[in-house]
């Protein structure tokens, strides 16, 4: 584990021949922050530094995102979860509270399903994987030929104009300015052809023209095993807030909170509110873990009894 101070410093290691970047701050019980699509660990900075007062905060750049490598390979939720497991193993983190935003929420849930013994709590922020509906923009990006459109959207002049418009809106008192600037920051890495390819591989692993194609709703009952919190921006038009409400209703014992002035990037648009919600969640809940030997019982407790193939139910 790197020796860190109050700074959200970037560190690098090599996993399976590929560069993985992660940022660390603080000391104390570990919290892992998983970013969304075309975002990076940098987007967690303000939340991370606040949590770092009492926790060790680890925020990786997912493969194909930020400053991590952009190899030709597997960009599925399971692959991202496995890289995070390997990263935590290398730096000596056995268990942690796992927080995921958007795509990162899907990765966080997948991480729990694959490695339940490593998760003490789970927090989902405007999470993917909880319903089919998603913005037309993301559905369109899954279409053939989207790479050329992404190249145009990520052109420096377009991004400078978008960022400038966002700044003017912020100065004029509009909260939408922060959202526009967040979009511009998210799109800027896509100036690179390899990053655009990695983005499309990641996107198409979870979204097609009909919407989200990967769903965790049939396994939400498993999240009753660990403290779970769901946070959503009330103005989110990328993934409907109803997904969060339905997930909250399906997960016994979960908590649900909204950020009134935020859209799809609550941790960027209002990091103080998100950090406060996470701090309260960490303070009010007790960490829980599931032993490998108990996982079968967890599954069989809510699944139909096993029977010989071909027999009647």
Average pLDDT over residues 14-38: 95
Question: Helix H segments across the chain?
Answer: 45-51, 77-90, 103-114, 136-141, 146-153, 156-171, 176-187, 193-206, 241-250, 266-269, 271-284, 292-302
How far apart, in whole angstroms, are the C-alpha atoms of residue 53 and residue 3? 15
- Quick check: is 264 catalytic? yes
| Active-site hit among 65, 236, 254, 267 | 236
The pLDDT mean for the chain works out to 87
- pTM metric for this prediction: 0.84
Average pLDDT over residues 68-82: 92
Determine what percent of the chain is predicted with pLDDT higher than 90. 61
Mean pLDDT check: name the lowest of 65-74, 81-90, 162-171.
162-171
Is residue 4 pLDDT above 60, yes or no?
A: no
**What local confidence, expressed as pLDDT, does residue 146 receive?**
60
Class for domain 9-134+213-297, per CATH?
A: alpha beta
| Active-site hit among 40, 102, 163, 197 | 102
Average pLDDT over residues 16-43: 94
| Active-site hit among 68, 264, 267, 285 | 264
- Quick check: is 237 catalytic? no
- Quick check: is 236 catalytic? yes
State the angle between helix axes of 103-114 and 77-90 in degrees (0 to 180), rounded to the nearest 10: 70
Average pLDDT over residues 296-303: 76
**What local confidence, expressed as pLDDT, does residue 304 receive?**
41
């Amino acid at each position: 584990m790197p020796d860190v101070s109050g700074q959200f410093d970037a560190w690098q290691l090599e996993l399976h021949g590929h560069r993985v970047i992660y940022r660390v701050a603080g000391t104390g019980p570990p919290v892992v922050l998983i970013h969304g699509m075309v975002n990076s660990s940098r987007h967690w900075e303000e939340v991370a530094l606040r949590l770092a007062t009492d926790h060790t905060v680890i925020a990786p750049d997912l493969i194909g995102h930020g400053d991590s490598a952009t190899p030709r390979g597997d960009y599925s939720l399971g692959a991202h979860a496995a890289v995070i497991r390997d990263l935590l193993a290398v730096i000596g983190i056995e268990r942690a509270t796992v927080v995921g935003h958007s795509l990162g929420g899907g990765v966080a849930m997948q991480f729990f399903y694959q490695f339940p013994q490593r998760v003490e709590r789970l927090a989902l922020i405007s999470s993917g994987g909880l319903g089919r509906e998603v913005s037309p923009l993301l559905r369109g990006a899954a279409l053939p030929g989207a790479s050329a459109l992404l190249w145009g959207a990520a052109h420096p002049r377009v991004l400078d104009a978008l960022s400038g418009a966002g700044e003017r809106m912020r100065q004029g008192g509009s909260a939408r300015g922060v959202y526009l600037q967040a979009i511009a920051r998210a799109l800027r890495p896509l100036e690179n052809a390899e990053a655009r390819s990695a983005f499309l591989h990641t996107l198409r692993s979870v979204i097609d023209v009909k919407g989200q194609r990967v769903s965790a709703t049939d396994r939400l009952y498993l999240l009753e095993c660990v403290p779970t919190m769901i946070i959503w921006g009330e103005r989110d038009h990328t993934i409907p807030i109803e997904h969060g409400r339905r997930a909250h209703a399906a997960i016994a014992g979960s908590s649900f909170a909204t950020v009134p002035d935020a859209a799809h990037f609550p941790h960027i648009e209002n990091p103080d509110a998100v950090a406060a919600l996470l701090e309260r969640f960490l303070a009010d809940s007790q960490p829980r873990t599931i032993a490998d030997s108990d996982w079968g019982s967890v599954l069989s407790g809510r699944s139909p009894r096993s029977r010989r193939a071909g027999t009647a139910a």
